[in-house]
Amino acid sequence: MVAKSAQYRVSGLILPVYLPSLLFTAGEMALIPTIPAMAESMGAGIALAGIIAGLLMAGTVAGDLPAARLVHSLGERQSMIVAALVGAIGILTAASSSSLLQLAAGIFILGAAAAVFGLARHSYLTAVVPLSHRGRALSILGGIFRAGGMLGPLIGAAAISIWSLSAVFWVGVVLCALAALLLGLSPDDRLETAGEGKFTMFQTVRDNRKGLATLGVASALLAAARAARTVGLPLWALHIGLDPAQTSLVLGIAGAVDVALFYTSGQIIDRFGRRWVAIPTTAGLGLTMLLFVLATDANTFLALALLMSLANGLGSGIIMLIGADLAPPKKRSEFLAAFRLIVDLASAAAPITISAITAVSSLSLGLGTIGLAAIWGTALFYRHLPRPSQRNSA
């Protein structure tokens, strides 16, 4: 049940949502830099190591729709606990692997668990946060993702330096288990409510097909641009001959800018409306994708990375927010599962698209293609996102 706006405090989400999310995200992100190295140490070549690393996203995509049934049956809180425990089991499977197949299975399981955890958390925030506070609540969650993405690899690097490569996986197990423990210690009756009525995934998609085909597609194109940014910046640094230390420094500075903007994003959204964030973020990422060709040295590369971070940081939580706004109250888990599937598929497709175009043409064309897609997404947001006056009268 949504709380009244005057009584609501976003700080009430710290224990039931934000801290468990930080732990789970940090546990997942700690593994990402080490999965290829772990696979290589077990005899995989570079191509196979890349495929195994990609199973994390594959597991997430595969888990999006089944996650809806689990959340519908168990409710948000129990689903998040189950997902955190299953994630720990997946990492444990990978940590104790004696074969590449077992390692791959563990990574896939973690990805599927992340789909359940993400959907349950998204559904919960959609249900309980009033519209007046939704922008701040979800932008903070977006900031939590970014913080987890920074903390996880740092903790992993410390574990490797103190112990060994496999220690990173045990760190992930502990962090996911702690997330489950925190959820278990945070009683909140609103988290116990399972979905209402019969589970009707396909009927829900049919009933809401217009929103999915317009704002859902626009959100997917924004997600693709974000994924292309993550892959494109290090690839372009390599392309122009920057050494790993320079690349890491630039990406670290850009990442700090990204994280710093998350709360500002929520304030803008709740005060001025979704359009003031969704449109500039998508347009900014699209245009900067087209400017990669101008980054020919460390200084211009830093300028480009900072511009991309400004655009991306401004949009903290906006994709989740649009999904929350579109979700029908009684079928939110089913709708959000379909919405997240579209977004996750686009995120997974972007690096593949860049690689394919680069193989037959050039990296700049591959990145530019994603940039043009983001411009299309901007047009969809401009056409279909309601203005504040329309939202208030709805």
| Per-residue confidence (pLDDT) for residue 262, from 0 to 100 | 86
Band (285; pLDDT cuts 50, 70, 90): very high
Kindly state whether residues 230 and 185 are assigned to the same domain: no
CA of residue 44 relative to chain centroid, distance: 28
CATH classification at residue 187: 1.20.1250.20
| Per-residue confidence (pLDDT) for residue 2, from 0 to 100 | 53
Q: Is the pLDDT of residue 66 over 90?
A: yes
Q: In terms of residue numbers, what domain contains 174?
A: 14-192
Kindly state whether residues 183 and 218 are assigned to the same domain: no
| Per-residue confidence (pLDDT) for residue 3, from 0 to 100 | 53
| Per-residue confidence (pLDDT) for residue 20, from 0 to 100 | 97
Please count the residues of the chain.
Answer: 394
| Per-residue confidence (pLDDT) for residue 327, from 0 to 100 | 92
Our count of domains for the chain comes to 2
Model confidence over 198-255: pLDDT tens digits?
Answer: 777 889 999 999 999 999 999 999 999 999 998 898 889 988 998 877 887 888 888 8
Q: Is the pLDDT of residue 6 over 80?
A: no
The SS3 call for residue 9 is coil
| Per-residue confidence (pLDDT) for residue 394, from 0 to 100 | 45
Most confident of 107-121, 122-136, 237-251: 107-121
pTM, two decimals, is 0.87
Kindly state whether residues 256 and 391 are assigned to the same domain: yes
Kindly state whether residues 170 and 60 are assigned to the same domain: yes
Q: Is the pLDDT of residue 320 over 80?
A: yes
Kindly state whether residues 138 and 246 are assigned to the same domain: no
Model confidence over 185-197: pLDDT tens digits?
Answer: 986 545 455 555 6
Q: Mean pLDDT score of the chain, rounded to an integer?
A: 90
* pLDDT-wise least confident of 19-33, 85-99, 183-197: 183-197
| Per-residue confidence (pLDDT) for residue 45, from 0 to 100 | 86
Kindly state whether residues 248 and 380 are assigned to the same domain: yes
Kindly state whether residues 160 and 216 are assigned to the same domain: no
| Per-residue confidence (pLDDT) for residue 391, from 0 to 100 | 54
Give the mean pLDDT of 52-64.
93
Kindly state whether residues 183 and 226 are assigned to the same domain: no
Kindly state whether residues 310 and 358 are assigned to the same domain: yes
